[in-house]
Amino acid sequence: MADYSIWVLEYSYVKNYHLSGIIYGAHNQGYRKLPYCYTLIKGRGTAAMVDVGYNNKDYGATMANNFGVENWRSAATVLGECGVTPEQIEHVFITHAHFDHMGNTDAFPNAKFYIQERELSKWVWAMSLDRRFRWLMLATDPGDVMRVVDLARQGRLVSIDGDRADVLPGVDLHAAFDTHTWGSMFVHVRNDGKANSADSWVLAGDLVYSFENVRGADANDPQYIPVGLAVGSQTNLMLTTDAMVKAAGDEFRRVIPIHEEGLREAFPSRVTAEGLRITEIALADGEPSRVR
């Protein structure tokens, strides 16, 4: 029995992203499509998101253009493929504050948002630094940070310090400090509701971009290879990858990298009329498939 359905929903993409950004050290090894996605979790009478994408307006649109992002579609269009509206989303777990994960909070007017306190405070700190440190803000829109601060004023922000179990029944949040960002976190879904789950899924945010970050190029001789960007350290990224793999019962395929085009080969999926992919990770009992 499964409590939750889980879908990875592509809402835009970069057609040619340099491989060294996905896999640390893969210099001069070409380019790869980089899907931009968020995750929908539906079941037990609620609907939740892991991240929200970007807003495709103002500075968010400028950043997307700088990164070569194409084919953006609204949350209403993307979620509609799974029979859900943005207004039905009750919980949003922000894995980190980069624009393509935290930029579209305004699209979810009824949601409560969860973020690590360290993630929010350190981006405010980074915003205050001398202009010579502006590389730190390369993928972060200051407007997004201020919108999340305003969620606190509205009573719609939950600031977390470290791990939190059962934020929803069977859904845990795990801090990954000083990794990809200062206060990244990942989401662990124990889809049978058991403490020692036999049906675990880890939604990794940008702690991994690809299955190759989790197992290397040879599944018979796995190794951890970190992503190309860490404001913390690559060592911390590898240690966090190990923690995610263990949370997933040592099954590499259960650590879900949302920027991975190869999800289509690991799970059922389809491409919508807008040219965006829906990948079905798990189905709750009684939930119809959205890809068949």
Q: Write the pLDDT tens digit of every residue in 31-41.
A: 999 999 999 99
As a whole-number percent, the residues of the chain with pLDDT over 90 amount to: 98
Nearest to 201 by CA among 114, 284, 80, 100: 284
Quick: pLDDT tens for 225-238.
999 999 999 999 99
pLDDT at 160 over 90: yes
> Is 93 inside any structural domain?
yes
Query: Quick one: 79 exposed, middle or buried, by C-beta within 10 A (0-12, 13-18, 19+)?
Result: buried
**Cβ partners under 8 Å of residue 212, min gap 6:** 22, 23, 225
d(CA 1, CA 140): 39
Q: Per-residue pLDDT averaged across 82-86, rounded?
A: 98
Report the Cα 108 to chain-centroid distance in Å: 16
Query: Quick one: 216 exposed, middle or buried, by C-beta within 10 A (0-12, 13-18, 19+)?
Result: middle
> Is 153 inside any structural domain?
yes
Quick: pLDDT tens for 97-107.
999 999 999 99
> Is 199 inside any structural domain?
no
For the packed helices 117-127 and 142-153, what is the interaxial angle rounded to 10 degrees? 130
pLDDT at 167 over 90: yes
Q: What pLDDT was estimated at residue 164?
A: 98
- Tally the domains of the chain: 1
Q: What pLDDT was estimated at residue 72?
A: 98
**Cβ partners under 8 Å of residue 173, min gap 6:** 93, 114, 160, 163, 164, 167, 185, 186, 187, 188
Structure-derived torsion over alpha carbons of residues 87, 91, 95, 100, reported in degrees to the nearest 10: 0
What is the domain-level CATH number for residue 66?
3.60.15.10
pTM of the model: 0.97
> Is 169 inside any structural domain?
yes
Helix, strand or coil, per DSSP, at residue 69: strand
Confidence of residue 53 (pLDDT cuts 50, 70, 90): very high
How many contiguous H segments (helices) and E segments (strands) does the chain have?
Answer: 9, 14
d(CA 257, CA 266): 12
> Is 288 inside any structural domain?
no
What average pLDDT does the structure give for the chain?
97
d(CA 90, CA 48): 6
Q: Per-residue pLDDT averaged across 9-15, rounded?
A: 98
In the block, residue with structure tokens 């079905």: 280
In the block, residue with structure tokens 């059962």: 166
pLDDT at 1 over 90: no
Give the structural domain span for 77. 5-173+255-282
Helix, strand or coil, per DSSP, at residue 164: strand
Q: Per-residue pLDDT averaged across 150-171, rounded?
A: 98
Quick: pLDDT tens for 117-155.
999 999 999 999 999 999 999 999 999 999 999 999 999
pLDDT at 219 over 90: no
Quick: pLDDT tens for 55-65.
999 999 999 99
Query: Quick one: 67 exposed, middle or buried, by C-beta within 10 A (0-12, 13-18, 19+)?
Result: middle
d(CA 113, CA 50): 10
Q: What pLDDT was estimated at residue 113?
A: 98
Q: What pLDDT was estimated at residue 257?
A: 98
